[in-house]
Amino acid sequence: MTLSRLDKQGLTAALFTAIAWSMVGIFVRLLPEWPPFAVLAGRFLVAAGVMLPIFFLTPSARLEFIRSLRIPQIWWLSLLAIGGYALGTTAFQIAPVGEVTLLMTTSPLFVVAYKYFVGLRTKQSGGIGVLLAIVGVSFILLPQRFANEAVFWQAMPGYLLALGAAGMLALYALWLSTLTKQRNAPRSIDVVFVTCLLGSVLSLLYAVFFSRSLIELEINGSTILTMIGLGVLSTAFPSLCYTVAAQRLPAVMTTAILLLEVVFATLFASVALQETPSLWFYFGSVLVLYGLLLISREAD
């Protein structure tokens, strides 16, 4: 099937999202002493600051943004995105980057599960893909359970949070895809800007009132550069790209393309953090990725 120009733009946006999001774990791990919501507040503030000139310098964009604030869906979409960011950021602080990234790319599993739950027809390849992905995840996690039980249980909350983030991203893509089909979707840049503004406010409030060590945080040149990288390269840019992809591609295809995150994240983590995955990780990853590719054959 020949892809239309619209589809090509969506695929390109999804690819850039995968590359940019694969660096999130690296940036988060470079801020080891920061509470999760302090990291979130910083990345959202930087991202909002980067996008702010667009609305100040473009009257039409500013007017469209003000109008979009009256749309209830934009607020609910933003809350879903913020929830996914919160769970994912916390997961990266608890468990290895490669494993968290892999679990966060299982959004297609949740898309298929949702379709099954509401009674929509799914292809046989989708069911086989779900089974392979579950087996692959088991290959990654179970050997660690028997090899080092203490480390496994220490990382388990991170694994669960990563799966929660994947579920929220799936709901985000599904809802945005549905709104686009109904020609009722808000503009991509408006969704992302509301997400960053609302996320910075909520995260900052939580960090101030519930993070006792916030005052003791060390802020130096390296920290500032890390936060800028996290806010620009791994928040504002991929959020906008992901929203564009979710509007222009089927939800399952959007989430399936993000499988490339695992490849890039594992490579970056091995270089920057010296995190070398076990052989079981590679065996399990092959099954998970192949299973998710089968799921990607599903049509919306």
Q: Residue 292, CB half-sphere, CA atoms under 13 Å: how many?
A: 31
Find the helix packing angle between 124-147 and 149-181, rounded to 10°. 160
CA distance 171 to 201: 23
pTM higher than the cut 0.85: no
Q: Which two tokens stand for residue 235?
A: 């928040």
Q: Which two tokens stand for residue 167?
A: 């579920």
Start-end of H helices in the chain: 5-21, 24-29, 36-57, 59-68, 72-94, 97-104, 107-117, 124-147, 149-181, 188-210, 221-231, 237-248, 251-257, 260-272, 279-295
Residue-wise pLDDT for 207-240, tens only, equals 777 665 555 666 777 888 988 999 898 888 888 8
Q: What is the reported pLDDT for 252?
A: 64
Which of 179, 197, 204, 207 is closest to 51 using CA atoms? 197
Residue type, 27: F
Residue-wise pLDDT for 81-90, tens only, equals 999 989 998 9
Q: What is the reported pLDDT for 294?
A: 74
Residue-wise pLDDT for 99-118, tens only, equals 888 788 777 778 777 777 77
Could you state, in order of their start, the residue ranges of all structural domains in the chain? Answer: 5-107+151-275
- Alpha carbon distances (Å) from 24 to 46, 124, 263: 14, 34, 13
Strand, coil or helix: what is 121? coil
CA distance 217 to 113: 41
Strand, coil or helix: what is 105? coil
Q: What is the reported pLDDT for 122?
A: 61
Average pLDDT for runs of 10 along the chain of length 300: 60 86 86 82 89 79 84 90 91 85 79 72 67 75 66 82 90 83 82 89 82 64 87 86 79 68 78 75 78 63
Q: What is the DSSP string of 146-208?
A: HH-HHHHHHHHHHHHHHHHHHHHHHHHHHHHHHHHHTT-PPPHHHHHHHHHHHHHHHHHHHHH
Q: What is the reported pLDDT for 34?
A: 81
